Amino acid sequence: MKLSRPDLFREAAYLAGRWVPAGSEGLAVHNPSTGELLGYVPYISAAETQEAIAKADSAFQSYKRLTGKERASLLRRWYELMIEHREDLAIIMTAEQGKPLAEARGEIDYAAAYLEWFAEEAKRVYGDTLLAPKSTQRISVIKQPVGVCAAITPWNFPSAMITRKVGPALAAGCTVVLKPAQQTPFSAIALCVLAEEAGFPPGTISVLTGKAAEIGSEMLASSRVRKLSFTGSTPVGKKLMAAAADTVKKLSLELGGNAPFIVFGDADIDAAVAGAMTSKFRNAGQTCVCANRFLVHNDCHEEFVSKLAAAVANLSTGDGFDPQSTIGPLIDEKAIEKVSSLVDEAREKGAQVRHGGHPHSAGKLFYTPTVLTEVTPEMSIFHEEIFGPVVIVQRFSDDAEAVRIANDTPYGLAAYFYTRNLNRALRVSEELEFGIVGINEGAISTEVAPFGGVKESGFGKEGSKYGLEEYLEKKYVCIGNVN
């Protein structure tokens, strides 16, 4: 890795203003594309996690007293530093996560945009004045930070999932203890170097690397931690939710998805193919919002599938540092085994392979972008979150059938559909049981809009004005005996 600022790559955790170096027994981090060892980060212990929480709690007592404008300036500076060091941050991300460098640069911009957004929102925390039931009373509602927040973030977006949790928390006046994914801690650490440089006081943010079970259980057990924000799988989210009940923590859970992508008979097929490529193949299909099930009307099935297969054939699978690559590796062996076995089972049960259908020669963790048709609900691939570069297509014959199939899942994060009919667009967007709906649009992620699901995809919104509310408590204040 050639970095302009080599100190952004740091083999250490950050415990309330103190850098804790990785010992010889640290957690090894590898490049998923080459298998190369990148470095080590420490296994933060239960006692160190408690120390970070205690320090976050004492930092909270002073940090919450900063004005909105002061917090905004810190966040703004952090944002500027991210933009200044975009290239180094992207290189670190590609090295540990595998995504193509152009995509990593895009993620740094996306991640920084949350800091910029919440720097602006920090100044706009408004309360309410209510009409009291008695003329001698005055009632107001004030908003205050919830307190120490824990954030547990995933490997698929090593920077953006951090800034969209930590940004609003710090804007609201909370302090944060962050546990990044084991596979991608160096992006989190690099962001933390820049947060320290931006001037966040010690204790306002800690980055605790190591084992999820050890760090997570301390976060959950602590009554000082008043909120947990988690992005990851639904089974893990359910366990965290149950464990958070003991201390009745506030929660934001951004969990799994099983996004339908519906192409109606009247759709602009070229636009639908372009949207499908954007939605499905971002990060090699390893996103919670990526299209997971394509439902295509009988009338346009062949045209859509043949154009899509041609576009998929143009993708270039390879190492993220190769400028030609548009599809990087999957994150680990478990991921490649899962994708391979889902595709193999679908093929055995009658799915037709229109492109790919096998691992890729670029390396152990690469899978060839794949298009399968004639997929049916009897196949596991239809129900599972694939998290890989595989398109599965099922036919439908009318709107009601498409909506019924789309909603027939415990998940409810994102849904997409393509149509030129305004009535259909309005009706279907209301009927879909999902937190995010893209109509004639495959790229729906932005800091300005509320990101979050319904049903077993979780609850709590991230980004937008709603994202800040998740880190604020409303307090009702009643003044009596006013003459």
Chain residues binding ligand SIN by CB under 6 A are 156-157, 160, 231, 254, 287-289, 445, 451
CB neighbour list of residue 433: distance below 8 Å, 6 or more residues apart: 407, 412, 454, 455
Q: Contact 407/256 with Cβ under 8 angstroms?
A: no
Q: How far is the CB of 302 from ligand SIN (least distance, A)?
A: 31
Active site residue 254: yes
Q: How far is the CB of 315 from ligand SIN (least distance, A)?
A: 19
Q: How far is the CB of 335 from ligand SIN (least distance, A)?
A: 14
Task: Tally helices (H) and strands (E) across the chain.
Answer: 14, 22
Distances in Å between the Cα of 299 and the Cα atoms of 143, 231, 303, 305, 478 are 53, 38, 9, 12, 63
> Please, what is the Cα angle at 58 between 56 and 61, to 5 degrees?
110
Query: Considering beta carbons, is residue 107 or 218 the nearer one to ligand SIN?
Result: 107
252 token code pair: 């934001």
Strand 175-179 relative to strand 148-152: parallel, antiparallel, unpaired?
Answer: parallel
Rg (CA), the chain: 23
Please tell me the distance from the alpha carbon of residue 281 to that of residue 284, in angstroms, as a whole number: 5
Strand 291-297 relative to strand 390-396: parallel, antiparallel, unpaired?
Answer: parallel
384 phi, psi to nearest 5 deg? -90, 150
User: Where do the H-state alpha helices sit in 228-300?
Assistant: 234-244, 269-281
Q: How far is the CB of 168 from ligand SIN (least distance, A)?
A: 14
Active site residue 473: no
Q: How far is the CB of 283 from ligand SIN (least distance, A)?
A: 8
Query: Considering beta carbons, is residue 210 or 452 the nearer one to ligand SIN?
Result: 452
Q: Which of the residues 149, 192, 288, 300 is marked catalytic?
A: 288
72 token code pair: 């905004």
Sign (positive or negative) of CA dihedral 360, 362, 367, 368: negative
Q: Which of the residues 11, 48, 196, 254 is marked catalytic?
A: 254
Please tell me the distance from the alpha carbon of residue 2 to that of residue 119, in angstroms, as a whole number: 31
Query: Considering beta carbons, is residue 357 or 388 the nearer one to ligand SIN?
Result: 388
Query: Considering beta carbons, is residue 359 or 442 the nearer one to ligand SIN?
Result: 442
Q: Contact 128/157 with Cβ under 8 angstroms?
A: no
Look at the block and give the residue holding tokens 């804007």. Answer: 171
Sign (positive or negative) of CA dihedral 137, 143, 148, 151: positive
329 token code pair: 């590796």
Query: Considering beta carbons, is residue 203 or 216 the nearer one to ligand SIN?
Result: 216
Query: Considering beta carbons, is residue 320 or 452 the nearer one to ligand SIN?
Result: 452
Q: How far is the CB of 170 from ligand SIN (least distance, A)?
A: 19
Q: How far is the CB of 117 from ligand SIN (least distance, A)?
A: 13
Query: Considering beta carbons, is residue 49 or 183 the nearer one to ligand SIN?
Result: 183
CB neighbour list of residue 152: distance below 8 Å, 6 or more residues apart: 178, 179, 212, 216, 219, 228, 229, 230, 231, 232, 240
Which uninterrupted H or E stretch holds 221? helix 212-221
Residue of closest CB approach to ligand SIN: 445
Q: How far is the CB of 441 from ligand SIN (least distance, A)?
A: 13
Query: Considering beta carbons, is residue 406 or 444 the nearer one to ligand SIN?
Result: 444
Catalytic residues: 254, 288
